[in-house]
Chains A and B, each alone.
Chain A
Amino acid sequence: MKYGAGAALAIAVVLPLVVPNAYYLEILTQAYVFAISACGLNVILGFAGQLSLAHAGFFGIGAYTVALLATKAGVTFWAGVPAGIALSAVIGFVVGSICLRSKGHYFAIFTMAVGLIINLIIQKWESLTHGHVGVIGIPGPGAIGPIHFESGIARSYLALVCLALTLVATTRLLRSPVGRTMVAVRESEPLAAAIGLDVMAAKRLAFTISAALAGLAGGLYAGFIGFLGPESSNIEMTFNTLLYVMVGGIGSVVGPVAGTFIVYGLSQVLQVLQHYQMVIFGLALVLLILFMPKGLAGVFRRPSTQPTPLAESASLRAGSSKKGDK
């Protein structure tokens, strides 16, 4: 595992230097950014087992915070991104406190509505967000001392550093007592509550962290791309992120990153398939769930090293009445 992580890090560090041109460098940077968002979704879905469909909403909140602070108030990227993370986290905390009282299907439907409300507000609040026109001319990251961020390579490394920090943070989270509680909630919420774990606190923390990471990814996205439209927060964005997590392996720390690279990379490189992209993605999502519910991480992981994520909890639950766990 340690060698694997070292090798992955080495590849990640070298990658921005060896990509053939600026176009691929841009894709690589985007992949790092979306991987951060996928790691965020993985915290609430993979660790705590709650399907949140509001994820792109928080990505949008982070992105629009950076964009609007920069274009309307002259706030720099460096101050805007933390502000975006903070706003996403605060809204995530409030929304999570309310939504997480609903369980299972209700939680998924509730968060889908929340994501839609965020997206509709961004679309319709034209005096603030310029609606469908979007925000243009968002300044990128300025220089810190001698380090400049105009070049694609520098931005790519900036995204990579953020991704690395995200991975360290989520790994530590998973190994901490509260991370263990999240996994316990995923495996069986009634059981976790019965042995005295604070189920709600763990779920709320998972949701807040997930929103904060989406906000970070959104902020980076806005600064790097330079323009921003409401589609950055729409439900399709949530689906894409969900696919990244599912392909890589739900619940595994590095799985979502691998999933992002494979899915996002393929979708960008195989431009010929542009029209059929969502046809393939939709089908892939269904087939994955049916035949490979643990994603690539499930294929490569040696058996019995980790508690298996969703499949096993289901067999536990299948014994009890389906109506009971609502």
Chain B
Amino acid sequence: MKNSSRFRQLLIGSTYTWMVVLALIPYLILFIASFLLPGDDQLVQSGLSFSNYQHLISPAVFSMARSSILLAGVAALLCLLVGYPFAYILAQSSAKVQPLMLLLVMIPFWTNSLIRTYALVMMLKANGVINQVLMALGLIEMPLQLMYTQTAVFIGLVYTLLPFMILPLYAALKAVDPRLVEAGRDLGANWLNTFFRITVPLTTPGIIAGCMLVFLPALGMFYVADVLGGARSMLLGNYIRDQFLIYRNIPMGAAASVTMTVAMGLMLLLYFFASKRLNREAMQ
């Protein structure tokens, strides 16, 4: 028995080491750098300063934050609209089909999202697959302008992030006690009524989890907007990348990154408490 406990310690220990070396320490360095100033001779210069954070309070940064939040919010909403019916059908289908459908949701996920974004370019461009099919079918005469539009950006975000929405929704829908739905039906409620008054409220934790899982990564996925949207507007992700790579202002980029992480952390905390409360209410 002693051996297996040592194995367990090793396993847990290596996970913690991994987290500390590859996540915690780099993040602490970033955090410290955010209070320094860019130097002439070195990449950073010593001395404590809050000026990086003060610089973040500017109309340009607010405008970028607004665009980022709007983009991520709409993407989460679209994912919900597409993902909920899918998860619903998935949860209703036979136990044999379910693993297969889940597998189909997961497979694209194994490919790097940047590569999938470039693959979408091949679909959406003027002489791309979609336009060629539509033209061959005689549905359109001129190619549609799909690339470099807001629509293309949302297609890209929804396509990339949909599994994050489907999986928690599926889990929540599976957990709904079918007897409750049946009871509703027996008491004379039609399908729409049972759906909105029983299924949806019972799956609220799944809806919130899915929205968070889509919204938070979408905030940082500036490259989807760059590649599919034509990079005409600037998002927070662009701003952070440019501070590091173009202006060599590592402290400024670090400050922006830390602020964004803290904001995301707060949202997660909020989600944590909200779901806890929901669970408690459900128990009662």
Q: Is the pairing of A and B real?
A: no
- Mark A residues whose CB is within 8 Å of B: none
